[in-house]
Structure 1
Amino acid sequence: MYQILIVDDEVHTVEGIYSGVDWDKLGITTVFKAYTVRSAKQHFEQERIDIMLCDIEMPQATGLELAEWVKERYPETKTIFLTCHADFKYAKQALQLGSLDYILKPVPFRELEKVIEKAKATIHKESEIVQYSQFWIQNQPMIIERFWQDILNQSILSNAKAISRAAADRNIPYFDEMVFIPVLISLQRWHKPVNLRDEKILEYGLKNSAEEVLFESRQDRLLITLNNRRMLAILAVQGNNAPSSELEAACQRYIDACSHYFYCDISCYVGEKVHGHEMLEMVTKLYEMERNNVAFNNSVLLLSRPQVHSSHSQSADMQLWSVMLKEDKFDEVWTEAKQYLERIEKEKLNADTLNRFYQDFQQMMHYVLQTKGIHAHQLFGDPHSKEIDANAIRSVTYLMEWMRHIVTKAKEYVLTLQQSQSVVDKVKELIKLRISEDLSREEIANHVFLNPDHLTRIFKKETGMAMWDYLFQERMQLAQELLAKSDMPISAVASHIGYANFSHFSRTFKKHTTMNPNEYRQLNRHK
């Protein structure tokens, strides 16, 4: 069932074509006539026009202008141009407007019939592709999702034959001519802490919202869940009809909704039109866009509109910051570093420049802490610090959060260290808590994030004795109390204060008190 429109300002030309072509034989059910561009546009607004036969030279507006109008609003319509002039300029313009053919007047009817048959075949093929695109997404979502995942993880080779064969093996209707646009959706960060259960629930909501806002109930689109908080939307498009501005606007609406309802930052990376065997390469490019987007949150970034990155930016003055840290100017260094990152133009930041800054800043912090006798890897070895460190180079936002964390924690510990009594108290507390264990000097030093020599100097300065003398004194004091105030067997007392050998304990105790453990117990019980 096809409908055709003949547009020509010469009435006899229109009537001649209308009378000279066997429309029933061609399967054309309705033939409309228009003698002006204005009249032609009215037909389009009121009827479905499958094929347009259009004269190029007309008063008021040319057929080329009409074709451009039709292409913009009714891209499914196939246009065949008619003209009296065999001018290459016209032919070139006609081809640029996507016309199906270019026929010289007077119109040879046999030739026109062949071109109309060609137009019908093109319409049928495109319609079939669209129907199949809708069918395989609507009826086989699980199979289709696995199909695309296998392409992306290279279980299916990225060549046209391999993909067509894989589709056929899975009973998936697929044509090499099918065209898609991929959109990578990346969750950048949550605005508040979430546990694993809450995160799964929120991600389910994000997926449902993407299907509702991006797809708008259309059946020619598919959403795939990827790893690392990513999703991939695959949109089937027809021919040159690539919804760039509409898609960009839909992505921004989705981002705004996620920020408002799900308390998170999300960015969308929109690819270009590809065939199935080109999908892996295109998605790889989107991954690279995501990796290099360290400066923009809640943004829609188009591959067709690339960001210009430059490595020529003023380097951070790490040497000055290092001197400031040695002088305990932690807050000032944090402010300087934050302002430095804010001063750099966002377009000049990418993953590599951010990573270099991160490495240099970390090296500086570790060096300064080392000069203060602090084990940086111990100080920042807690789970929270590790989690912040793991995300540091994902974005400027995360990097600032990491810098603030390590600078603040280092500052607090250095201040604690300067109040050396609190460090000594921690050592004493550890010795009391683990007095029965064979503690090493390194183990005690690690507990307070200091190297052993530095801790030994601090401890002796504050207490007037070495740590081992203090440990021995505490053990003997506890042994005396247990012998005098309890019925605990002497072997158990020895074990409780860290002596596995009973004889060694007796000799050591007698050397310390001039009595063996049994004599000490008897004397103190008598008292």
Structure 2
Amino acid sequence: MLQLLIVDDEIHAVEGIRSGVEWPKLGISAVFSAFTVQQAKEVFKSEQVDILLCDIEMPQATGLQLAEWVREHYPRTAIIFLTCHADFKYAKQAIQLGSFDYMLKPVPFPELEQTIQKAIEKIQEDTKAAQFSQYGQFWFQHQPVLIERFWLDLIHQVIPPHAEAVKRAAAERNIPYDDSMTFIPVLIGVQRWHKELTLREQKIMEYALKNAAEELLVGNHRNGQIISLDSGRLLAILDASSDGNFESALTGQCERYVADCKSYFSCDLSCYIGDAVGGQDMFGMVNRLREFERNNVAYNNKVFHISSASLRSAYYELPDTTVWSAMLNEGEYDKALQEAINYLEKLLQREIMDVMLLYQFQQNFQQMMYVALQKKGIHAHQLFSDPRSLDFSANATRSVTDLIAWMKHVVNRASEYVNTVEKSNSVVSRVISYIKGHIAEDLSREDIANHVFLNPDYLNRIFKKEVGMAISDFLFQERLKLAQELLAKSDMPIGAVAAHIGYANFSHFSRMFKKHTSLNPNEYRQLHQQAQQH
């Protein structure tokens, strides 16, 4: 329902219009009246006015001045002018102000009703147009998101990979698509960042990579989309059906993109170009590209085409690590590492390397290192459980470059620690320091050995050789010394003293204390505190 305002300085004219028109029939729910321009403005400020029926000649301010104000503040209001003068100047001004109509008094009520009805129809048309405009704006703002969702649903098989299902899904989303269209998918995979990034920094960099891909690969191409698949992976989907030369130029565009990303975003990445396929075949083609990327463990910053893949998987016997193991046992870590690297480089030269061979090589090399360290009493799994070592290990099977980086880290860390162990004084010093710093805890021999990544028996032999007693005896001796000092020099309750040196059982503490001092804790305190007073 709409509302209307009548503005005229003649009261009888206003009342005549109010009573002479069948407002409910027109769909007018409320009719307001004003006798001056100022009163009309007050009505506008308090009510919604859809139609303004306004006299032109009024004292203080004219209807034309009111219309100008209304156009500025309430542009959707339809304005119908009433006047006693058929003056062309008035008509011209009314048209310039965008009035809906210009009528001469006295206006027959049927004619006025027809004009108001036309104004109402115009308002309804404008309202629909405005709603459509808002929807259209929403569509064009959000269509890229809808298209991205369409491709993701297709790639993840939410949309079945059948021609009719794809066509129907596109139509439901109002996406331009037909069976004759073909698309080229390009998988972009980040192989590594050249500097450490926080999760937030990595997200920012991936956003920059996406923007660069939109500029260099999609450009002004009418049907192109860059989609984020998962961490470090983008997928460009490019329309190949409208430009016959596009496919041949794509390799060069990808090469430029790879070079620019390496220069400006400090990363290694490769592009994997698929064949032109229809929408129903996109799922299968993207899976082939993913497998292609997974098997590229040898080359960085390259552009590959699925139809001319240079990487090939082949059976190849893994190396005999006997000689490398002997080098490790003799402490020749650098030589063993170099031999392993040389072997990998030979595989690269012969183009015999895929992810499975890389994985098997990494497992064998790790086993060889663990056995060598075990022989020296070192707990390898604990030595390599720090965050940096875990990061190297997680990336080791991504590429030969990452594998070599992991091997260097493992060998260097093992070599450094073996040298430390062989200098037993430094290991013993660490053990003593650890015992003194954790003396209030329930320490076991295994806990202490784990702290220095050594086998408990092996550590105990080193410790006894340097200190002259077993670790357990040294631990008790340190606890006894501390208990004696606390009893003699403080008023700490005996139970608290026991707890402070790692004894939860007070009776057991008392027995052990008396066994080694011939006095129970209370007797020891009284004897030494009396001696201090004298």
> Normalised by the size of structure 2, how large is the TM-score?
0.71
> How far, CA to CA, are the matches of 2:189 and 2:237 in structure 1?
14
> How far, CA to CA, are the matches of 2:528 and 2:227 in structure 1?
79
Matched, 1:334 2:337: yes
Shift of 1:313: 5.2
Work out whether residues 138 and 220 of structure 1, in 8 Å CA contact, stay in contact via their aligned partners in 2: no
Q: Which amino acid aligns with 2:365?
A: F
> How far, CA to CA, are the matches of 1:164 and 1:217 in structure 2?
25
> How far, CA to CA, are the matches of 2:178 and 2:389 in structure 1?
51
Matched, 1:385 2:389: yes
Matched, 1:371 2:375: yes
Equivalent residue, structure 2, for 1:133 = none
1:311 aligned to which of 306, 310, 314: 314
Equivalent residue, structure 2, for 1:404 = 408
> How far, CA to CA, are the matches of 1:154 and 1:510 in structure 2?
76
Shift of 1:208: 0.8
Bigger-Rg structure (1/2) = 2
Shift of 1:240: 8.0
Work out whether residues 514 and 521 of structure 2, in 8 Å CA contact, stay in contact via their aligned partners in 1: yes
* 1:67-95 C-alpha deviation (Å, 9 max, x unpaired): xxxxxxxxxxxxxxxxxxxxxxxxxxxxx
Q: Secondary structure at the match of 2:230?
A: coil
Equivalent residue, structure 1, for 2:453 = 449
> How far, CA to CA, are the matches of 1:137 and 1:237 in structure 2?
23
Equivalent residue, structure 1, for 2:477 = 473
Q: Which amino acid aligns with 1:177?
A: S
Shift of 1:139: 6.7
Q: Secondary structure at the match of 1:172?
A: coil
Equivalent residue, structure 2, for 1:501 = 505
1:416 aligned to which of 411, 414, 420: 420
Equivalent residue, structure 2, for 1:185 = 188
| 1:199-348 equivalences in 2 (<5 Å) | 199-238=202-241, 241=244, 243-311=246-314, 315-346=318-349, 347-348=351-352
> How far, CA to CA, are the matches of 1:244 and 1:161 in structure 2?
26
Equivalent residue, structure 2, for 1:120 = none
Q: Secondary structure at the match of 1:226?
A: strand
Q: 1:358 to 1:468 in 2, by over 3 A?
A: same
Work out whether residues 296 and 311 of structure 2, in 8 Å CA contact, stay in contact via their aligned partners in 1: no
Equivalent residue, structure 2, for 1:436 = 440
Shift of 1:148: 0.7
Q: Which amino acid aligns with 1:252?
A: E
Q: Which amino acid aligns with 2:146?
A: I
| 1:169-184 equivalences in 2 (<5 Å) | 169-184=172-187
> How far, CA to CA, are the matches of 1:303 and 1:311 in structure 2?
18
Work out whether residues 446 and 456 of structure 2, in 8 Å CA contact, stay in contact via their aligned partners in 1: yes
Q: 1:310 to 1:278 in 2, by over 3 A?
A: closer
> How far, CA to CA, are the matches of 1:248 and 1:358 in structure 2?
33
> How far, CA to CA, are the matches of 2:373 and 2:152 in structure 1?
47
Q: 1:360 to 1:229 in 2, by over 3 A?
A: same
Equivalent residue, structure 1, for 2:115 = none
> How far, CA to CA, are the matches of 1:469 and 1:255 in structure 2?
64
Shift of 1:496: 0.4
Equivalent residue, structure 2, for 1:78 = none
Q: Which amino acid aligns with 1:228?
A: S
Q: Which amino acid aligns with 1:514?
A: S
> How far, CA to CA, are the matches of 2:457 and 2:172 in structure 1?
70
> How far, CA to CA, are the matches of 1:313 and 1:161 in structure 2?
45
Shift of 1:315: 4.2
> How far, CA to CA, are the matches of 1:356 and 1:471 in structure 2?
44
Work out whether residues 242 and 273 of structure 1, in 8 Å CA contact, stay in contact via their aligned partners in 2: no
* 1:217-275 C-alpha deviation (Å, 9 max, x unpaired): 32321000011310000001116826333100000111111111111001000000100
Equivalent residue, structure 2, for 1:198 = 201
Equivalent residue, structure 2, for 1:77 = none
Q: Which amino acid aligns with 2:506?
A: F
> How far, CA to CA, are the matches of 2:141 and 2:218 in structure 1?
13
Of the structure 1 ranges 245-254 and 427-436, higher mean CA displacement relative to structure 2 is found in 427-436
Shift of 1:308: 4.4
Work out whether residues 392 and 398 of structure 1, in 8 Å CA contact, stay in contact via their aligned partners in 2: yes
Instruction: Give unmatched runs, 5+ long, in structure 1.
Output: 1-135
> How far, CA to CA, are the matches of 1:316 and 1:440 in structure 2?
41
1:426 aligned to which of 430, 442, 446: 430
Q: Secondary structure at the match of 2:218?
A: coil
Q: Secondary structure at the match of 1:341?
A: helix
Work out whether residues 240 and 247 of structure 2, in 8 Å CA contact, stay in contact via their aligned partners in 1: no
Work out whether residues 182 and 272 of structure 1, in 8 Å CA contact, stay in contact via their aligned partners in 2: yes
Equivalent residue, structure 2, for 1:67 = none
Work out whether residues 460 and 467 of structure 1, in 8 Å CA contact, stay in contact via their aligned partners in 2: yes
* 1:406-461 C-alpha deviation (Å, 9 max, x unpaired): 00011011111101122222222221121112122222221111122222222222
Q: 1:310 to 1:226 in 2, by over 3 A?
A: closer
Count of residue pairs brought into register by the alignment:
392
* 1:92-145 C-alpha deviation (Å, 9 max, x unpaired): xxxxxxxxxxxxxxxxxxxxxxxxxxxxxxxxxxxxxxxxxxxx9997110110
> How far, CA to CA, are the matches of 1:371 and 1:150 in structure 2?
54
Equivalent residue, structure 1, for 2:10 = none
Shift of 1:486: 1.6
Work out whether residues 313 and 344 of structure 1, in 8 Å CA contact, stay in contact via their aligned partners in 2: no
Q: Which amino acid aligns with 2:454?
A: L
Q: Which amino acid aligns with 1:210?
A: A
Q: 1:138 to 1:522 in 2, by over 3 A?
A: closer
Work out whether residues 152 and 280 of structure 1, in 8 Å CA contact, stay in contact via their aligned partners in 2: yes
Cα RMSD for the two superposed structures: 1.8
> How far, CA to CA, are the matches of 1:328 and 1:281 in structure 2?
51
Q: Secondary structure at the match of 1:214?
A: helix
Q: Secondary structure at the match of 2:187?
A: strand
> Normalised by the size of structure 1, how large is the TM-score?
0.72
Equivalent residue, structure 2, for 1:521 = 525
Q: Which amino acid aligns with 2:373?
A: L
> How far, CA to CA, are the matches of 2:431 and 2:374 in structure 1?
20
Shift of 1:169: 2.5
> How far, CA to CA, are the matches of 1:492 and 1:498 in structure 2?
10
Work out whether residues 268 and 300 of structure 2, in 8 Å CA contact, stay in contact via their aligned partners in 1: yes
Equivalent residue, structure 1, for 2:486 = 482
> How far, CA to CA, are the matches of 2:320 and 2:247 in structure 1?
43
> How far, CA to CA, are the matches of 1:254 and 1:465 in structure 2?
66
Q: Which amino acid aligns with 2:286?
A: V
Equivalent residue, structure 2, for 1:362 = 366
Work out whether residues 183 and 268 of structure 1, in 8 Å CA contact, stay in contact via their aligned partners in 2: yes
